[in-house]
Structure 1
Amino acid sequence: MKTVSFRNRDMYWDIAADIHFPPNFDDKRKYPAVITAHPIGSCKEQAAGNVYGKALAEAGFVVIAFDRSTQGSSGGEARYIEDPALAVEDFRHVVDYAVTLPYVDADRIGVVGICGAGGYAINATMTERRIKALASVTGVNYGRLFREGFSGFDPIGQMEAMGQQRTAEARGEAPKVDVFVPLSMDAAKAAGVTDIDVLGATDYYRNRCVNDNAGTRALFSHSPSAIGWDAFHLAETLLTTPMIVIFGDQPGGFGAYRDGMEIYGRAASKDKEMVVVPGASHYELYDQPEPVRQALEKMIPFFKKHLGASTSVQTATH
């Protein structure tokens, strides 16, 4: 693995990424590449890198696991902005970087998005035609989630409050930062949390895979654009890329089950697969061996079918 950074060409900061290489990597060969995107509140070192990125690299792909702008080790101010438009553009910048690598075949690039990044990856793939294959793992339409549970089913009231907070910050008051995840399982239980997804998030981020780069937070005043965004807008027309959507059959408050069903039905792609992992909840698909095994059992053949295997440089240029 190699850690790199490269310029976000439309902004003024760098994007950080880990490149995972296949076994017996030869930089004189051309490899298919998969870009992996971390969940909301996460970072490249977690599920996108240490689970799916590692497995896809072992299967023969060059994998680029990146931190979104304003998050993890990537640049951008203010920190922890969860802006879907910015997140979608990040995919384009990572593709821009990938096509400059001499060992990446620019015509064989795929993406994996996990949780909210599943929605971002779906949206990015509609208009970024250099992406040739798409996988969503327990993907969530962040806009839909924010209009519902994240706003207490009062999106207008939330946007009014966000506007007031932004005015206060413009006048010099301290920023308000929303923390997505309780600080401990005890804190979650004390607060009366019963939702399987919130409990799963708490266990994952506070116990199973602790990482200082995982912010698990968002700047409240910069969130109105998320409320007005829809990951699936125009999917019936523009989402023609081969796609696999993977989610568990244990629905929780974040809505990956319903979103997975919806995008599978709406996508215009003639080559699409839906994998419902029995007995799995949202966060079990991040790192638990059996759900992850079942996800990869379908994902790896999907990418091999649509992106192929490595070739020699000589073969690739003829």
Structure 2
Amino acid sequence: MVKPDLTPDGGQVSGWLPRRKGFGAERAFGTLTLLAGLMVLVIIVAITVFLIAKAIPALQADTANFITETDWFPNQTPPEFGIAALAWGTLVTSVIALVVAVPIALGIALYLSHYAHRRIATTFGFLIDLLAAVPSVVFGLWGFTVFIEPVRTFSVWLNKYFGWLPFFDGIGPFGRSFLLGGLVLAIMVLPIVTALSREVFIQTPTANEEAALSLGATRWEMLRTAVLPYGRPGVIAAVMLGLGRALGETIALALTLGFINEVTLNIIKNGGNSIAANIANGFGEAGEVGRGALIASGLVLFAITLVVNIAARAVIYRRRDFTESAA
């Protein structure tokens, strides 16, 4: 402690001041967390530099437009390949997965957090977490051997009654398609969105719920006016995390897509490919230029995922009141 200063008449000018602390455990922990955060940035930069360095020679050898070309022939002479069809397939299957999984996931999360008995909610929550632990290759094999027949039957029904839409036209055959891959991805994304949304809904302040109920709101009106608005940023973050899982999925799509590179709105006919699935199927047989082309496609996927995460973070920061109230 520092001795206080005194006035000429003996009065105290300032109180006791704490002695300045040295390099203690708290400061060491703060430095360690700072280094951990910087390490993440270093890893991201290193991955970016590696992808760019490996992709440049293949892009220089490419005789087609890498952005707009739909064919993928990097091993022929001269090489001709592009990312358009692969990026389109990645986005289409991810959108199908989110359209199917998000409403179901939110319904399950609301039921487990505000309707189900505690024992039932605990049991179902455990099963949902267990579903998230299933390896993707299991989903892919199940989709390829079992789920393909119901999807084929459903595709025939869609083609028969809604064939006038560009999404369901054609004369077949149906089976390994965007629809099959998207539905398998939906099952894989479902537990992630459900678990995170449930945790967000549980954190809703009890005072908000009781205030809505005291004003005469029904259970659903309370959820709509108090729970859903409070948890919107968290739900968006959960959806974006599920989207990141769908964008980067490899083995499941490698087993359920038809590997026909084309940009089409039709989601039921055989065909379709994605960036990750194309890398998994083509890396073993690729030559020097082919490997560089696959790495270049991985760079595009890396950029798409980065943009998605930045957009999600921007949405959450716009609702800073959520993060402050939850802290």
- TM-score after normalising by structure 2: 0.24
Larger RCO: Structure 1 or Structure 2 (Cα < 8 Å, ≥ 6 residues apart)? 2
Q: Which has the higher strand share?
A: 1
Superposition TM-score, scaled by structure 1 size: 0.25
